[in-house]
Structure formats: structure tokens, C-alpha cells
Structure 1
């Protein structure tokens, strides 16, 4: 592809993207293809000779797009959003064109320095104390792994990376059962082991960690010769929005000298609105915090903001400095590859810069406030419908519900059939969870361009599908 072809196809790709976004609401939200259908349409081996771009692009439209679930659809109410505001997409075009490897300051000074500034913009927007510094990770999973590795090394007095875990006292980490499964993976990958992730009971409407039970568990482990290392607190857990009392968790941690990591991957974006910050009151006492601008704030995936009270502990845990990665003749620079597990780094800060400038914090606050208000309004409408119950009350824009008809023998099976029917219908997309062992259906509003009409349309789909299910019995 020469430069003129590159120019022409870049224009065509951008025009396709604009058309796709303009007409997205006309598509079913979730892919309707059967397993293996896409693979069967793809050649069994790579071509020996070049193929025409016209043919490649035609196959993309014919075979790939129909097999995509449309995460930017305004009626995507499943999981949590993975937003890509149009201005963020434009920034990613530029990043892709430059294709820089931003692992060190010297490999792209602008990428490093813009990242430093953008994380400080976000820190201020969230109301975090000035001593916090930030780094962009690819996802909250990576940020949590980095936090677990740091708490492990601190507890082992920095012996773990060199000597390994064999022969050491078992390292213990504490969380509730409301945290994301990325915490489990971090425990596995760090070598701590699942048996040493202590699940603390929860209570109350927000399913918060019982801090008295947390304190007792830490004391019991110490008495047993085990090595408590850190606590992972949840703010807006994936299942139903489980949220810990961060201030109380941090108080327990201080009493025992433990590291606290706060996972606010989804809900953290809402903290740009001062009225929602009570959900993480005391967060300034934590050691590290993660939230994903690529979820609710509108930055295209991947983009996870990881804030640290003491970055030196993270760097001491992760940094490796062979001669070929040293920057000679420069003092006081940051090499962000020393702040993350991967060496390679994309230029992720550019999309945050574009996003915050194009929408302003007030524009982003208005979006989040609307999503919260609309979701809460929908919850009340579902509650008022005969045969429906709210299982967990709205936490920001997330709630769960269940259909409980009088003549249903197995409510779990019935609600699983209902969420399947809703998603097969194609107009909206929801996912299920379990609350106290019982199946419930989740709803969350968070897509960047969704409207009140989109959110309220969910009621007709939910009720209609439930009525059809019952009439077919």
C-alpha cells in the first residue's frame, strides 16, 4: 500500500466508522451468529499472493460486522460500558497512524509528559489528594495485579522477587466476595494462591465488607504465623455494585500496617460528580486506586487510570533497568514502563486529552448524572410492574431485578429464559448475575450516547418478553 492508497483507505475507513456510528441504533445490539459461523467464512490458510483491498473490505462488511456485538449501541445495558466517545476515536486514529512505542521517556517524550499531565487532570477531577500520582494501565486487571505484587513485596520486605515465595510465611490478602474476578487472577499470577485470598463477609444494602470481621481475620492470621499483606476494597462491584466503607477499611489497614487498593473500575468515573463521592469517602487514605476512563468516562478501550500514594514502592516492585533501557544524561524523568507489568506501552494519554477538552468536565458530569437519574427512574417503573421485584436497589446507574410470576416452578430457570429472550429480541442487551444464590437480571445505563428514550424503552422489551414467555407455557 503506497501513500496515496493509504490516504484513500484511511478516508474510507473513517467514513465507514462515521456511518456505522450514525446508524448503530438500527442494528440488533448483540451478534446473532451461531458458534463457528464466522470462522467457516474465513479461508483456512493465509493467501500466498496479495489480495485487493476492495475484496478485503467487502469481506469485512459481509463476514465480520454481522458477528460483532455492538458495545457503542445506545441500548447496550449489559456488563459495564466500554465507551468510545467519537472524539476519543479520532485521537486513536492519530495514535494508530504514529504507531509509537511509548515505553520510555526517550522513545516518545510527548507521550510520557502528556500522561503525567492527564493523570493529574483526572486526579483533580476526582477530588483526590495532591500526593497521588498516576499511570495509565491497559485495564484494571493490570493495575490490580501491580497493586497485589506491591503489597506482596512490601510484606516480604522486598524479598519475593529475588527469593520467591518458597519457604516464606504465606502471604494473605483480604477482600469481600463482591470484588471482580480480576482480583482472583492477580492472586494467582502473583503466586500468593487462591487459598490465601481471605473472603470477608458483607452486610447492608451496599454489600459492604464487615470491617470487624476483617480485623478479626487479620489478627487470627497473624497469630497463626501467616503474613497479612493488603486489602482490596470494592467501590461499585460488577455484580450488583457492591461498595465497601473505604474509610473503615483504611482504618483497619492502618492499625495493622497493611496496603489498601481500591477497585473502582466502573464507579470511579462517577466521582467527577462531587455528590457521588460519599460512595468512596476516605479514599484519600488508600495506597492505590484504579478506575477505567474506558468504561463510563468515554475514553476508548484500553485506558485504566491507576493512582498511587507512593509510586516508589510500585517502581521498586516492577522496575528492571538493563543498559539498553536506560536514558543517559536526563535526570528526574519518568519511564512509565517501570510502573506497569508490560514493557511495551501505547500512547493512551492522547485520547484523554482530546476527550476532556472536547467535552469538558461539566459535559461528562451531565452525562453521568443523566444515566444515574434515568436508571433510577427505570427501576421504579420495573418495581411498579405486576410480577416484578427489584432485587438490589440502584447503585449509581446499576440495579438488578427478577420476574416472579405466581405459576413459575423454577424462578432461576425462568429468569434465565427471560434474559435469553430479551437478548434474542435484539432491541436491548442485558446480563444476569446471582444475588444470595438466586439468579437476577442486571441493568446498567452507561453508554456514552444513550438517551432517556433508550433507557425507558427497556421496560417495553422486558415486560413484553416476560409476557410472551408466560403465554408460551
Structure 2
């Protein structure tokens, strides 16, 4: 592809993207293909000769697009959002065109210095104290892994990386069952082992860890010769928004010398609104915090903001400095590859810079407040319908419900059938979860261009599909 072709196809791709976004409401939210259907339309061997872009682009539209679930659809109410505000997409065009590898300050000074600046903007927006420093990770999973590794190293007096875990006391980490499975995976990858992730009982509407049970577990483990290292607190867990009492968790951790990591991957975006900050009261005492601007704030995936109170501990855990990665003659610079597990780094700060400048905090706050309000309205309407019940009340814009028709025998099977019927309908997309062992249907509002009318349509679809299923 020469430069003229590159210009032409870049223009066509941008125009296609704008047309695609403009027409999303006319498409079913979830892909309707069967397993293996897309692969069956592909050649089984790679091409020996190059093909014209016209043919490749046509195949993209005819063979690939039908198998896509449309995450930017304004009626995507499943999982949590993976937003890509249009201004963020434009920034990503530029990032892709430059294709910089931003592992060190010297490999792209603008990438490093802009990351420092926009993470401090976010810190201020969230109301975090001056002492926190930020880094952009690819996902909350990577930030959580970095936190688990750091708490492990602190507990082992910085000998885990050097000596390995053999012969060391068993390291223990504490959380509820409301945390994301990325915590489990970080426990595996760090070598701590699943048996050493201690699940603390929960109690209350937001399903927080019981503080007394947490402290008892720590004391019991220490008396047994085990090595308590840290606690992972949840704010807005994926299933139904499970949220710990962060202040209580941090007080216990301080008494016992443990590291606290707060996983607010989804809910953290809402903390740009001061009225929601009670949900993580005490967060300033945590050692690290993660939230994903690519979820609710509008930054294109991937973009995870990781704030650390003591960055030296993170760097001591992760930094390796061979000669070829040193920057000579520039003391005091930051190399963010030393703050992350991967060495390679994309220029993720640019889309945040574009997003925050184009929308400002006022617009972003208004979006989040609308989503919370509209979701609460929907929850009340569903609760008022015959044969429906709220399973968990709204946590910000997330709640869960269940349909319980009169005379229904297997309510779990019925609700699985209902969520499948809703998704097959195509107008909205929901997911299910289990609450206290029983199936419930989740709803969350968070897509960047969702309107009140989109949420109102969700009510119609849910009610109509339930009636059809009950009468079948």
C-alpha cells in the first residue's frame, strides 16, 4: 500500500466508522450467528499473493460484521460497558498512525509526560489526595496483578522475586466473593495459590466483607504461622455491585501492616460526581486503586487508571533495568514500563487527553448522573410489575431482577429462558448472574450515547418477552 492508497483507505475507514455509529440503533445488539459460522466462511489456508483492498473490505462487511456484537450500541445493557466516545476513536486513529512504542521516556517523551499530566487530572477529578500517582495499565486485571505482586513482595521483605516462594511462609490475601475473577487469576500468576486467597463472608445490601470476620481471619492466619500480605476491596463488583466498607478495611489493614488494593474498575468513574464518593469513603488510606476509564467514562478500550500511594514499592517490585533500557543524562524521569508487568506500552494517554478536553468533567458527570437516574427509574417500574421482583437494588446504574410467574416450577430455568428470549429479540442485550445461588438478570446503563428512550425501551422488551414466555 503506497501513501496515496493509505490516504484513500484511511478516509474510507473513517467514513465507514461514522456511518456505522450513526446506524447502530437499527442493528440487533448481539451477534446472531451460530458457533463456527464465521470461520466456515474463511479460507483455511493463508493467501500466497496479495489481494486488492476492495475485496478485503467487502469481505469485512459481508463476512465479519454479521458476527460482531455491537458494544457501542446505545441499548447495550449487558456486562459493563466498554465505551469508545467518538473523540476517543479519533485520538486512536492518531495513535495507530504514529504506532509509537512508549515503554520509556526517551522512546516518546510526549507519551510519558502526557500520561503523568492526564492521570493527575483524573486524580483531581476523583477527589484523591495529592500523594497518589497514576499510571495507565491495559486493564484492571493487570493493575490488580501488579498490586498482588507488590503486596506479596512487601510481605516477604522483597525476597519473593529473588528467592522464589519455595521455603517462604505461605502468603495470604483476603477478599470477599464479590471481587472480579481477575483477583483469582492474579493469585494464580503471582504464585500465591488459590488456597491462599481467603474469602471473607459478606452481609448487608451492598454485600461488604464483615469487618470482624476479616480481622479474625488475619489474626488466625498469623497465629498459624501464615503470612498475611494484603486485602483486595471491591467497589461496584461485577455481579451485582458488591461494595466493601473501604474505611473499615483500611483501618484493619493499618493495624496489621497489610497492603490494601481497591478494585473500582466500573464504579470508579462515578467518583467524578462528589455525591457518589461515600461509596468508597476512606479510599485515601488505600495503597492502590484501579478504575477503568474505558468502561463508564468514554475512553476507548484499553485504558485502565492505576493510582498508587507509594509508587516506589510498585517500581521495586516490577522494574528491571538492563543497559539497553537506561536513559542516560536524564535523571528524575519516569519510565512507566517500570510500573507495569508488560515492557511494551501504547500511547494510551492521548485518548484520555482528547476525551477530557472535548467533553469536560461537567458533561461526563451529567452522563453518569443520567445513567444512574434512568436505571433507578427502570428498577422501580420493574418492581411494580406483576410477577417481577427486584433481587438487588440499584448500586449506581446496576441492579438485578427476576421474573416469577404464578405457578412456575423452575424459576432459574425460566429466567435463563427469559434472558435468552430478550437477547434473541435483538433490541437490547442483558446478562444473567447468580445471587445467593439463584439466577437473576442484570441490568446496567452505561453506554456513552444511551438515552432515556433507550432505557424506556428496555422496560418494554423485558415486560413483553416475559409475557410471551409465561403464556407459551
The alignment's TM-score, normalised by the length of structure 1, stands at: 1.00
- CA–CA distance in structure 2, aligned partners of residues 408 and 463 of structure 1: 17
- CA–CA distance in structure 2, aligned partners of residues 449 and 125 of structure 1: 22
2:271 maps to 271
- CA–CA distance in structure 2, aligned partners of residues 420 and 129 of structure 1: 45
Asked if 1:256 corresponds to 2:256, the answer is yes
- CA–CA distance in structure 2, aligned partners of residues 430 and 354 of structure 1: 31
Asked if 1:339 corresponds to 2:333, the answer is no
2:168 maps to 168
1:406 maps to 406
Secondary structure, aligned partner of 1:389: strand
Secondary structure, aligned partner of 2:442: strand
2:239 maps to 239
Residue-by-residue CA offset, 1:115-154 (whole Å, 9 max, x unaligned)? 0001000000000000000000000000000000000000
Residue-by-residue CA offset, 1:309-346 (whole Å, 9 max, x unaligned)? 00000000000000000000101000000000000000
1:62 maps to 62
- CA–CA distance in structure 2, aligned partners of residues 464 and 470 of structure 1: 10
- CA–CA distance in structure 2, aligned partners of residues 103 and 8 of structure 1: 31
- CA–CA distance in structure 2, aligned partners of residues 372 and 15 of structure 1: 33
Structure 2, unaligned runs of 5 or more: none
- CA–CA distance in structure 1, aligned partners of residues 315 and 128 of structure 2: 21
Secondary structure, aligned partner of 1:297: coil
Q: Residue 282 of structure 1: CA displacement?
A: 0.3
Secondary structure, aligned partner of 2:434: strand
2:118 maps to 118
* 4+ long deviations beyond 4 Å: none
Secondary structure, aligned partner of 1:202: coil
Secondary structure, aligned partner of 1:209: coil
- CA–CA distance in structure 2, aligned partners of residues 63 and 442 of structure 1: 31
Secondary structure, aligned partner of 1:393: strand
Residue-by-residue CA offset, 1:15-73 (whole Å, 9 max, x unaligned)? 00000000001000000000000001111111101100000000000011110000000
Q: Residue 203 of structure 1: CA displacement?
A: 0.5
1:215 maps to 215
2:204 maps to 204
- CA–CA distance in structure 2, aligned partners of residues 341 and 161 of structure 1: 13
Q: Residue 6 of structure 1: CA displacement?
A: 0.1
- CA–CA distance in structure 2, aligned partners of residues 64 and 335 of structure 1: 39
Secondary structure, aligned partner of 2:432: strand
- CA–CA distance in structure 1, aligned partners of residues 102 and 46 of structure 2: 31
1:444 maps to 444
1:105 maps to 105
Q: Residue 187 of structure 1: CA displacement?
A: 0.3
Q: Residue 202 of structure 1: CA displacement?
A: 0.4
Q: Residue 407 of structure 1: CA displacement?
A: 1.4
Q: Residue 240 of structure 1: CA displacement?
A: 0.2
Residue-by-residue CA offset, 1:170-220 (whole Å, 9 max, x unaligned)? 000000000000000000000000000000000100000101000000000
Asked if 1:282 corresponds to 2:289, the answer is no
Asked if 1:430 corresponds to 2:412, the answer is no
Residue-by-residue CA offset, 1:415-449 (whole Å, 9 max, x unaligned)? 00000000010000000000000100000000000
- CA–CA distance in structure 2, aligned partners of residues 322 and 270 of structure 1: 40
Structure 1, unaligned runs of 5 or more: none
Q: Residue 406 of structure 1: CA displacement?
A: 1.3
Segment of structure 1 superposing worse, 405-414 or 90-99: 405-414
- CA–CA distance in structure 2, aligned partners of residues 275 and 301 of structure 1: 27
Q: Residue 470 of structure 1: CA displacement?
A: 1.3
Secondary structure, aligned partner of 1:407: coil
1:328 maps to 328
2:46 maps to 46
1:368 maps to 368
1:154 maps to 154
2:421 maps to 421
1:3 maps to 3
Aligned CA-pair RMSD: 0.3
Secondary structure, aligned partner of 1:203: coil
Q: Residue 471 of structure 1: CA displacement?
A: 1.5
